[in-house]
Chains A and B, each alone.
Chain A
Amino acid sequence: MKIIEAQNISKKYKANSFYSLKDINFSIETGDIVGLIGKNGSGKSTLLKLMAKAQKPTTGTLKFKGIDISKNNNILDKFGIMIEPIFYPHLTVYENLMFFLEIHKKEKYVNNIKDILELVDLWNAKDRKPVDFSFGMKQRLSLALSLIAEPEFMILDEPFVGLDPLGVKKLIEILQQWSATKHTSMIISSHQLNELEDLCNRYIFIDSGRLKTQFDDKKNFLIIRLDMQVAQAQQIIASIATKYQLEVNKQELELPLTLDKGKLNDILEQLSSKKLIEKIYSAKDELESYFTEG
């Protein structure tokens, strides 16, 4: 089921003459963890702010479970939002969580507080005020706030920034665990591609406000770029693809890493005997190539 649908979203900030987002269309299925990637200033935060209703789209509609989010209040009830550190620095950690639950009439989740704070490693700091917290602690408090009411959909803007390697690992674990047990869908913007790869099953790449491409995660694939100039390239590849049930994407053949020795050697032998192989790379490089090639 589609949990989020974006239709022809454009956004021009009043102060600017250019569009920060232009004609964006995509959808997110229940259970998806979508990585939102793009260069600085490409419009990632803008897109997430539109989803959080902090900004209004200039044109287009955003739907949550088929309902236009701009039509009513409290449609984001099931959203967990972590866009900027969103807590009150003058309240203690515990008071912040209580405040959040009270204003959203979610007091029934009071019993979650201990679990969540233990999860983000802040239980011992629950009576401290976040004013003098380290950056990572602030980040984790924001995360706790976005998780406390058991959201169905999470919006995370650069959640890994400022976390130490251990913290990053922990955050990834938390999100993975959450997605596995609660089937929470997420959209996560980040420049940390390796981290995203551990987490996401799909990617949306935007460049200068336009959606360049969206693709499924290929981290478990080896990708072979083929030389299509070779005679009969089309036929050879088509027959290999059908024989071994492989995906061909234009001039790229996708090999699952799980392929057994016999098949792998067969395929590579057939390809190399015809000098069809132009380049072999892993999906990790592919993700990076979006940045370098643009």
Chain B
Amino acid sequence: MNYLFRPVFKTVLKRKETWLCVGFSAFPLLLLLVDFFSTNFMQLSAPKGSLSFLEFFGAVESVQYQLTLPIIAFIYLVVTCFHDEIKSGKMFLFKDIKRSKILNAKIASVIGVYFIYFILTFVASLITYYLHLIHMDYTSGTFLPTQLVDLQDAIISIIGIFAVTQLCILISVAISIKLSDGLTMLIGIVFALISFIAPSLKGLKYFLPNGYSGLLVQLGFGTSLFMIVLLFCIYALIIYLCSNRAFKKMEY
């Protein structure tokens, strides 16, 4: 990681937009409230004694993703860190530091915020599960599912969404270097929406990392995992190269 990362990440952490993103990681804690008020919101149902922590976490991540709000917050963060800064002449601050170094530090900072969000979601899920859900009869109280198939399913689903969210962020970065905020939001959200339905679409599910949770039975765990990682790397690399080109040529 280049030396720019630390100062750039620090400035990103001081942004309100960042805390909006990270705030969504408190989402699982809502379950504590929901049950407290005994409403029907996001009622979990599962066979008696079956839901392990990891499956719960997978479900949380999936609902969070389909909620779209967190991803919109992340696209908004990208827009403020890229297009808004370029447009408002903040790039003069960096003078002629190598453009790819600046880009790397910025991308790493935004992805860093996503990591914080992911980890905090994990922690919030832990709290919710072990403090509250464990008293429900549909939870098993174990960390991992007892059945291997369930474990594999949970892992593929978690990694799939983890990968596709980052792709969505990277795509927004690439667009935001050139296009306006509105267009970036639009395209980023459209990508997110397409990826929601990907797992249920025949052709498309092979092309998106989160499609493989529906292909697990057919392809097996190893192949599915490999495909997710492979697809992620290829897409991330292509998007990164495009961003790098655009950022290098960018004038302000």
A: which residues have CB within 8 A of B? 49, 52-56, 69, 73-77, 79, 81, 83-88, 90-91, 95, 99-100, 102-105, 145
Contact = CB atoms under 8 A, between A and B. Distances in A.
B67 interface: no
A95 B95 CA distance: 18
B6 A104 contact: no
Contact of B14 (A53, A90, A103): A90
A54 B11 contact: no
A103 B92 contact: no
Interface of B: 3-4, 6-8, 10-11, 14-16, 88-99, 251-252
A74 B102 CA distance: 12
Contacts of B95: 52-53, 74, 76-77, 79, 81, 104
Contacts of A73: 96-99
30 contacts: A49-B252, A52-B92, A55-B252, A73-B96, A73-B99, A74-B95, A75-B96, A76-B96, A79-B95, A81-B95, A83-B89, A83-B92, A84-B89, A86-B89, A88-B90, A90-B14, A90-B15, A90-B16, A91-B14, A99-B7, A99-B10, A99-B11, A100-B93, A103-B4, A103-B7, A103-B93, A103-B94, A104-B95, A104-B97, A145-B93
Given A54-B91, A55-B252, A99-B93, 15 more contacts: A52-B95, A56-B251, A74-B95, A74-B96, A74-B98, A83-B92, A86-B89, A86-B92, A88-B11, A90-B14, A90-B16, A99-B7, A103-B97, A104-B95, A145-B93
A54 B96 CA distance: 8
A145 to B, nearest CB: 7
A74 B96 CA distance: 5
Nearest to B98: A73
Contacts of A84: 88-89, 92
**Taking chain B's interface residues, is the majority helix, strand, or loop, or is none over half, making it mixed?**
loop
B188 to A, nearest CB: 22
B14 A87 contact: no
B14 A81 contact: no
Contacts of B89: 54, 83-86
Q: Is the interface of A mostly helix, strand, loop or mixed?
A: loop
A54 B15 CA distance: 25
Given A76-B96, A103-B93, A54 B251 contact: yes
A79 B91 CA distance: 14
Contacts, number: 68
Contacts of B96: 53, 69, 73-76
Nearest to A56: B251
A74 B101 CA distance: 12
Contacts of B97: 73-74, 103-104
Contact of B3 (A69, A75, A95, A105): A105
B214 to A, nearest CB: 42
Contact of A54 (B7, B14, B98, B252): B252
A95 B93 CA distance: 13
A37 to B, nearest CB: 22
A85 B93 CA distance: 10
A154 to B, nearest CB: 12
A77 to B, nearest CB: 7
Nearest to B16: A90
**For the complex of A and B, 7 pairs with smallest distance between CB atoms:** A84-B89, A102-B7, A73-B98, A86-B92, A76-B95, A76-B96, A55-B251
A29 B15 CA distance: 42
B44 to A, nearest CB: 39
A77 B97 CA distance: 8
Contacts of B7: 99, 102-103
A83 B88 CA distance: 11
A79 B95 CA distance: 8
Contacts of A87: 93
Contacts of B93: 86-88, 99-100, 103, 145
A53 B92 CA distance: 9
A91 B92 contact: no
B16 to A, nearest CB: 7
Nearest to B101: A73
Contacts of A102: 6-7
Given A54-B91, A83-B89, A88-B90, A103 B98 contact: no
Chain B CB within 10 Å, residue with most, of A81, A86, A95 = A86
Contacts of A77: 95
A88 B89 CA distance: 10
